[in-house]
Amino acid sequence: MQVAFRKALPPSQYLISGFFIIILVGSGILSLPIAIREGQHLSYIDALFTSFSAVCVTGLVTVDVAATFTIFGRAVIAVLIMLGGMGFAAVIMSIVLILGWDVGISQRSMLSEAYNLGGLSGTMRIVKTVILASMLFQAIGTIVGLFIFLPHYAFPDALGHAAFLSISAFNNAGFDIMGNYISMSDYRFNVLFNLLTMFLIITGGLGFFVLSDILRKRWHWQKFTMHTRIVISMTIFLIIVGTLTIAALERLDLLSALFLSVTSRTAGFNTIDTAALTMSSLFFVILLMFIGASPGSTGGGIKTTTTFAIFLSLMSMVVRRQPAAFKRKIPSESLLKAFQVLMLALLTVTVGLFTLTVFEGERFSFIQITFEVVSAFATVGLSTGITPSLGAAAKITLMLVMFVGRLGPITVATSLKAKQSVLRHVEEQIFIG
């Protein structure tokens, strides 16, 4: 049996609709009495914000998750995080495969759009990688995390903490159930905890295409695709530079600086008080958040490959050489798309920043608001502590910014396009710069 979508809508609109439906259903379930702890009040906008943040794997919260939600409510949040991390397209493809239906071109197109594959080849391999990698790494995280939490909690609670941490970390969500908005501060000097969490964050942030390439090529660097080489190189570079810079600016121990460097690129956990960072550190973390993870991953931001392509394009202009890396030339279409992503991301952040300054500019500093908006767009979840105090209009703004950041500016932009015009114009030169 073959399942087909209506051809009236492009894949990007199906993705947007799918994510939005999951968010609305999630907010409805989180509003049920069974999901809220006795004596706690949860407004619908806070339930909606929590659902947005979970599905968009962000981690920004307006309420204390541990104090507000029951075990059922936390389980719902965990499921929303997994659905958001895998992506609507992968979830649909998984159901299609389980039911034994044939996968048509429309479904493959939607998957290609979701993971920025640029074509239909390799779509089913990506689905299988998404399913297997998600199950495998989250299971490993749960087992190892259990031994970390057992000394502090009874077995059922330790298992719950371990599973929630594993799901949240691998999907770069940044949600935690520690309570009192302290995130992972109690485990700042726990080496095993830090290593496990960073491993899950980095693995989820590499992208499912890279994970598939690594498994198929068995860690043979020369056999990796150019995309995989760029992602791995940029990831290592950003982690090292981030660690050294943060350690120098804040005079932190290397473990804490390393954790912040890793988590800043879309994960959202923190072992130190983010609000206590210096202005220069906050600005540097904003840069790391804006860059984010890699394409086809559970993370957000403009992505490592976009940053690499833009830098390479600018350098090629200076040295007057072709934009190439690893003895391969980057296509002009990829460079153009990188700049389009950058400009759309800056536009999204600028509009969100302006809107938040209108509603909250009198109560919070410009750097706090900027940090909040970039964190939402890059689906990071780090905050200087202002999220619970925001008004309804500011919360709605952040929800929209998170939504655009999770789906990707290009996907949102292409979903709005009208019919292609057949009108052709005469070309004329203009002066640039």
What pLDDT does 317 receive?
Answer: 82
3-state secondary structure the chain: CEECCCCCCCHHHHHHHHHHHHHHHHHHHHCCHHHECCCCCCCHHHHHHHHHHHHCCCCCCCCCHHHHECHHHHHHHHHHHHHHHHCHHHHHHHHHHHCCCEECHHHHHHHHHHCCCCCCCCHHHHHHHHHHHHHHHHHHHHHHHHHHHCCCCCHHHHHHHHHHHHHHHHCCCCCCCCCCCCCCHHHCCCHHHHHHHHHHHHHHHHCHHHHHHHHHHCCCHHHCCHHHHHHHHHHHHHHHHHHHHHHHHHCCCHHHHHHHHHHHCCCCCCCCCHHHCCHHHHHHHHHHHHHCCCCCCCCCCCCHHHHHHHHHHHHHHHHCCCCEECCEECCHHHHHHHHHHHHHHHHHHHHHHHHHHHHHCCCCCHHHHHHHHHHHHCCCCCCCCCHHHCCHHHHHHHHHHHHHHHHCHHHHHHHCCCCCCCCCCCCCCCCCC
Report the relative pairing of strands 102-103 and 2-3 from DSSP bridges.
parallel
The pLDDT, as a whole number, for residue 104 is 55
Quick one: 175 exposed, middle or buried, by C-beta within 10 A (0-12, 13-18, 19+)?
buried
Count of structural domains, the chain: 1
Residue 415 placed within a domain: no
Look up the domain containing 380 and give its range.
Answer: 12-410
Per-residue pLDDT at 276:
92
Question: Is residue 67 in a domain?
Answer: yes
For residue 432, is it within any domain? no
> Can you give the pLDDT at residue 424?
73
User: Is residue 288 one of the residues assigned to a domain?
Assistant: yes
Whether 422 is in a domain gets the answer no
Domain contains 428:
no
**Consecutive sets of 10 residues in the chain, 433 residues long: mean pLDDT of each?**
49 77 95 95 96 94 94 96 76 55 54 52 66 89 95 93 94 89 91 96 89 82 88 95 96 95 91 94 96 87 93 85 82 90 95 97 95 96 94 96 89 67 71 70
Q: Let me know if residue 305 belongs to a domain.
A: yes
90 belongs to a structural domain: yes
Please tell me the pTM assigned to this model: 0.88
For the four alpha carbons of 276, 278, 281 and 287, in that order, the dihedral sign comes to positive
